Structure 1
Amino acid sequence: MITTKSQRKCAVCGDSPAKVHYGVLACFGCKGFFRRAVKDGRNKYVCRFEKNCEVNKFERNACRYCRFRKCLLVGMNPDFVRPDREEAREKLRSQKSLLAKKKSIGRSLSNKVDADGDWTLQLPSNSRKLLCDLNALENDVMSLAVGGYEAIADFSLKSLIADRTLARKSTARNTTPVKLEHNPSLLSIQRIVNVTDFIDGLIGVIEKESSRKTTVEDKCSLISSVFLPLNILDQAARSISKDSTFYTEEFTRSLENFQIDSRTISEFASLCERFKRLSPSPMEYSIVRALTIATPDRGTLSNGFSAHLSAMHDSLQELLFRVIKLSRAKSSASAANIMANLISQVYEAKAISSAVLPTLRRSFPRDAIKPLPYHKILTDIVNPEVFDLLVTMSNRRITNPPELTSTFSLSNTTTDLIAYSNAPTTDSINSIGCNHQFTIPNQPVRPQTLGFSAKLPLTMTKSIEDMLRPPGMNEDSTILNRPLSGDWADGVRLTPMFNRDVVAQFFPELSENPVI
């Protein structure tokens, strides 16, 4: 059914007509409101009631706080709002002045003797810039920390990303960072917000180099792919602190609450012990965290974003090697050994998260009737919605294998795309079906090796040679490979079209009676 313009309603207020603005169907009124809200800042709106006002086309102007919240809930992307020309000029002017100051400082530092022993000055310019960006990102995430999360209780992961993007763009930051206690839990909204801020900031570093905006879908896929490994890695890194026993026991208890098997819990304990032996510095661990984000499962990411992540992964590996070599290693071999041990912890955390993920997906189904607070965010992380048909078919085949029958139905179906149907057989179906005696394979996949030779036998190709042989030609296996002789126009091997008279008209020297 073709959707007409009159049927396109705004996802925020329900008014029509609506067009795609900032990623969703929205009317012109909500489009302008969202643009003004993003430009002016989100912190000036306050709800006079319980932050649950109804937003429709008649009362959409009653509460700007709830209207802006509804814009984020339906998935409007603040990154798509373009700045004004004057603001863009002012921003470009300030960036140029800041770049000139950095260049002058860099020249003065390069001319001075390294009297203070700052080994970071020995790094190449690109590695030093990346290290400064990571340090600034850590401080930026701390300044974005908030104390309460009640406003995002009904948010999805896309809405949370939009909210945190606005918080990053907002000029009103926390001058004194909020001191939050570390939450030793496998799934906590505090950890999700913290990881979202860190990933969004790292994507901003990538966008500076590539000048390409990242879609919300790529951000969601990246967060759902790396949140569990990064959280497990962070909990293991807490084993170096003074209160390591408390945090390790609390996180182990959190795993037991989700009914994780004892083998996975023992693997996490081994990961904590290896972290204690390695004892990475805060600078080294910041690079390891960024490496964890740069090594996701790339199956659901776009090709362009995946290529930028690969480039960032290579830059981070080079930076980690240089930092280890300059800070605590005496040779390249020992630095490479330490770096390999640190990177191996990333893959150990990914292996533990892969073992935990099936249990979490059963705890957070997508078709929950009455979702709890933060349930949408948690579901989007551990059980994301997949629109790839190949991935969906693979998951169906692995998780819920259908019952195979030996009757194939000839009726057309449009609702089920599984290779083998498990519909109950009836008499009407059996009457038009075809029963066979062939063995049905256990897995509906193509075998890797064939049980017979792929070449056709000569007995089958001989009939083809007979059909291609002109009438009257003798059966000689080498006749087609012989060179032409002078009497090739004679004999009965030629077709009636190519007879001797026709050849004599074009080649008189080959005929006994040439045509004059």
Structure 2
Amino acid sequence: MHFFIERIMRMEDHVVPSSHPLDKCAVCGDKALKVHYGVLSCFGCKGFFRRAVRNGRNKYVCRLNKSCTVSKQDRNGCRYCRFRACLRAGMNPDAVRPDREDLRKAAQGGEAERRGSFSSTCSSPRPIHNLIRTNSVQMNSDDWTKSLSEGERSHLYGLARVARSIDEFECASFSGIDDFSLKSLVAFRSLAGSTLNATFSSSDRSITSIWRIVNIVDWVEGLVKMMEAERPRVAITVHDKACLVHNSFMPLTLLSELSSIAARSRMNELVAVRNSMDSLCLSFSTNEILRRLACETLVPLRHASLSPTDLLLLKAIIVFNPECPGLFSMATFRIREIRSRLFDLLFHSISHTHPSSNLSAASNYGQLIAILAPLTHVSGDISSSLRSTFPRPFDSTLPYSTLRTDVFNPEMNDLIVEAAGMRDEVKRFKHSNKRTHEEIPT
């Protein structure tokens, strides 16, 4: 028992014994005795990563071919490659605490921005209307958003802004993320000013294409930033974002494909779904999944006649799923709260954008929400069929093998989750120990 308690306390202090065989910095290989920002690293790489996140962020440039050696002797030679080595090792930018002065300025700036957005939306609906119009989210001529509260209008404004940024994602550089994990990519894209510096072609329409993964990562990141702008102290960690990406990748991809078919094609449902899955390079041994997609998802989508605003809100609801496996409790609580608001917004949107429908707004809303369950189930079945394509341990010789494996065959025994559980055990042990001492009569 004492050995177990000592092991827990040692993990809490993040100290590794000097005799530990893995007491080397995960970034440069130097001597390391502590875990910094989620990774066993030396004090030099700890300080570099902190400065890079707080000041330099992603402004570094490699003068060679982006494959510089990052060792104890050469780690100062290229900040670009050293920073990416930190991300590849798993360092978490969310763990870098800002100075008090930075927190004060951020709080003042956020409050001023919120006041400005609220005052503009209350005085005139044109800013929201124009922003949504640029994202092809059509409004009625009388602008139904006038009936929304300040918070609801702010959420709709944020969603439209995220959608516009995703629509502008046409070219990017994947040369710097060849050996990134999903968490490394999430951390990389979460940093302000992050860019991908080589060109790529979106001609690869397969379900496993890298541009699709980056697209969903940016979608999740944009929605999380929108959520944190309202309540900055509620942090959604890199681990939480990676869980949301994995959980929403397949449903979002399928919804985008099927909603496009529903809006543009009158082809037979089963034929249309088969053609769409072929374009995604998905093949199935039977037609069961195709039939389920056609009958349980495509047909209801055609009857729903989704407006672009409805589709935008439905995508956000899919991302913000509090039942997503692996989320920390704080993230689960906040996501459940924001999701309930999105449901309310979706009902408002359906009520005002389907006035001529034969069904009531409640019926349209219920039928649309009913699509989520079969879409989730089919997405899970398709994801399961892809796991054998990306086995663990993955083949490091294949391009982007780590990233693709993390998306389609994630590691279930996550060390971060285990460490969080151990910390909870430590807290419970300390609390019970404290109560025991208090109950002992003096």
Q: TM-score, normalised by structure 1?
A: 0.66
| 1:236 corresponding residue in structure 2 | 258
Q: Point out the structure with max Rg over C-alpha.
A: 1
2:249 to 214, 227, 249: 227
Matched, 1:265 2:287: no
2:172 to 143, 147, 154: 147
Find 1:132's aligned residue among 133, 157, 168.
157
- Corresponding residue for residue 94 of structure 2: 79
1:45 and 1:65 in contact (8 A); partners too: yes
User: Within the alignment, does 1:376 sit opposite 2:399 as a pair?
Assistant: no
Residue 340 of structure 2, aligned match among 314, 318, 323: 314
1:343 is aligned, of 369, 374, 390, to 369
Counterpart contact for 1:325–1:332, Cα < 8 Å = no
Q: Please state how far the C-alpha of 1:287 moved relative to its aligned partner.
A: 0.2
The 3 A distance-change label for structure 1 pair 378 and 260 is farther
1:32 equivalenced with 2:55 (yes/no): no
The 10-residue stretch of structure 1 (375-384 or 316-325) with the greater mean CA deviation from structure 2: 375-384
CA distance in 2, matches of 1:340, 1:252: 27
How many pairs were matched up? Answer: 382
Contact kept in structure 1, 2:206 and 2:279, CA below 8 Å: yes
Q: Report SS of the residue matched to 1:372.
A: coil
Instruction: Work out the CA distance in 1 between the residues paired with 2:411 and 2:256.
Output: 26
Tell me the residue number matched to 1:202: 223
Indicate the SS of the match to 2:82.
helix
- The answer to whether the Cα contact below 8 Å between 1:145 and 1:194 also exists between their aligned partners in 2 is no
Correspondence for 1:278 among 304, 322, 327 = 304
Displacement of 1:160: 0.7
* CA distance 1:51–1:244, change in 2 (3 Å): farther
The match for 2:234 is 212
Whole-Å Cα distance in 2 between the matches of residues 266 and 378 of structure 1? Answer: 27
| Superposition deviation, residue 197 in structure 1 | 1.0
Letter in 1 for 2:307: S
Aligned counterpart, 1:188: 209
Counterparts in 2 of 1:20 and 1:346: CA distance versus 1, 3 Å:
same
- Alpha carbons 1:156, 1:376 under 8 Å: kept: yes
Match of 1:323 in 2: 349
Segments of 4+ in structure 1 off by > 6 A?
A: 171-174, 243-247, 330-333
TM-score, normalization: structure 2? Answer: 0.76
Structure 1 unaligned segments of length 5 or more: list them: 392-516
Q: Which secondary structure does the structure 2 equivalent of 1:301 belong to?
A: coil
How far apart, CA to CA, are the structure 1 residues paired with 2:394 and 2:118? 56
Distance 1:223 1:99, change over 3 A: closer
The 2-side partners of 1:100 and 1:368 are apart by: 49
**One-letter code of the match for 1:170?**
G
Q: In structure 2, what is the Cα distance between the partners aligned to 1:274 and 1:116?
A: 27
1:261–1:348: structure 2 CA closer, same or farther, 3 Å change rule? same
Q: CA deviation at 1:59?
A: 0.9
Alpha carbons of structure 1 residues 214 and 107: separation in structure 2 relative to 1, 3 Å = closer
How big is the shift at 1:313? 1.9
Q: 1:170 aligns with which of 193, 201, 225?
A: 193
Superposed CA offset, 1:40-78 (max 9, x none): 445532223332222110111122221111011011112
TM-fit CA distance, 1:239:
0.9
Q: Secondary structure at the match of 2:370?
A: helix
Please report how far the alpha carbon of residue 9 of structure 1 lies from its aligned counterpart in structure 2 after TM superposition: 2.1
239-248 vs 315-324, greater mean Cα deviation: 239-248
Residue aligning to 1:98: 113
| Per-residue Cα deviation, 1:284-320 (whole angstroms, up to 9, x for no partner) | 1000001111236434222222222221221111110
Partners of 2:187 and 2:310 in 1: how far apart? 30
Q: Distance in 1 between matches of 2:118 and 2:326?
A: 40
Residues 163-205 of structure 1 show CA distances to partners (whole Å, capped at 9, x for unaligned) of 1111xx128899xxx9975864322211111111111222223
**C-alpha displacement of 1:364:** 1.0
Q: 1:332 to 1:316 in 2, by over 3 A?
A: farther
Identical positions, percent: 37
Distance 1:294 1:36 in 2: 32
Pairing 1:55–2:81 present: no
Secondary structure, counterpart of 2:371 in structure 1:
helix
* In structure 2, distance between residues paired with 1:180 and 1:345: 32
Task: Tell me how far apart the structure 2 counterparts of residues 229 and 189 of structure 1 sit (CA, whole Å).
Answer: 17
CA contact 1:324–1:335 (8 Å) conserved in 2: yes
**Which fold has the larger relative contact order, with Cα–Cα distance below 8 Å and residues 6 or more apart in sequence?**
2
Q: CA deviation at 1:121?
A: 0.7
More helix, by proportion: 2
| Contact persistence 2:90–2:183 (CA under 8 A) | yes
Q: Is the 8 A contact 2:322 2:333 kept in 1?
A: no
